[in-house]
């Protein structure tokens, strides 16, 4: 059953409590929290204090997406904040298999993010320690980019790899996700990261901006 995860990078933190209440009303499944260091990607985003502020205002589960050049240095810090899922990028740690295993050892689901240009061979030998593959359908760092259609092909190839190895790895997708993208991918994807929904909260009530996704939301038990 596909799940919807609005990105908190686009939230107006001066109205954080209000926006989180709206997300609760919309019955979103999980919050997506981007952490950027200005080095691995050319932007800065949320940090530990922001996560604490979110955690103090809602009980919605959340993931953390570590867009950091040295994620090993910060895994303990972010793990202590209680995420359900932690993503790192394939290019970031020197010992990828070990890092993913360390995340799992903390009773957190391990996520591996792959950029549009990341070779799929990078994930082949770490599927056994990867709970979720996050396919980036934009180049990471900024919201508001155009969807890269090759993400569809990459997801099909990843599914083949997962089936061949017989792992329980799930797939997520992040970047310019529209109702058309969700329609095409359907249940092939476990987590849809929806930055656009959070943008629209400033222009319309949550229930109205959630309407394009209601078809899939109704599938939820």
CA dihedral 149, 198, 173, 79 (to 10 degrees): 150
* Residues 113 and 93: beta-carbon distance below 8 Å: no
Q: How many Cα atoms occupy the beta-carbon half-sphere of 167 within 13 Å?
A: 20
Determine which one of 34, 56, 125, 131 is catalytic: 34
Determine which one of 37, 61, 125, 174 is catalytic: 174
| Per-residue exposure over 97-121, b if at least 16 CB sit within 10 Å of its own CB, e if not | eebbebbeeeebbbbbbbbeebeee
34 catalytically annotated: yes
63 catalytically annotated: no
Q: How far apart are CA 196 and CA 52, in angstroms?
A: 23
Positions annotated as catalytic residues are: 34, 174
């Amino acid at each position: 059953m596909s799940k919807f995860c609005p990105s908190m990078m686009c939230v107006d933190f001066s109205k954080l409590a209000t926006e989180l209440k709206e997300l609760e009303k919309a019955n979103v499944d999980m919050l997506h929290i981007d952490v950027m260091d200005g080095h691995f990607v050319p932007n800065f985003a949320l940090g530990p204090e922001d996560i604490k502020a979110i955690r103090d205002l809602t009980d919605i589960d959340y993931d953390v997406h570590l867009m950091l050049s040295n994620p090993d240095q910060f895994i303990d810090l972010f793990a202590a904040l209680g995420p359900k899922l932690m993503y790192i990028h394939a290019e970031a740690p020197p010992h990828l298999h070990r890092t993913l295993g360390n995340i799992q050892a903390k009773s957190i689901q391990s996520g591996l993010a792959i950029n549009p240009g990341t070779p799929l061979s990078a994930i082949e030998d770490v599927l056994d320690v990867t709970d979720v593959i996050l396919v980036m359908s934009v180049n990471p760092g900024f919201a508001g980019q155009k969807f890269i259609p090759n993400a569809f092909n990459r997801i099909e190839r990843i599914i083949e790899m997962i089936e061949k190895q017989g792992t329980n790895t799930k797939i997520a997708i992040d970047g310019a996700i529209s109702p058309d993208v969700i329609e095409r991918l359907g249940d092939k994807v476990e987590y849809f990261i929806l930055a656009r929904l959070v943008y629209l909260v400033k222009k319309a009530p949550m229930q109205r901006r959630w309407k394009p996704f209601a078809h899939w939301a109704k599938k939820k038990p």
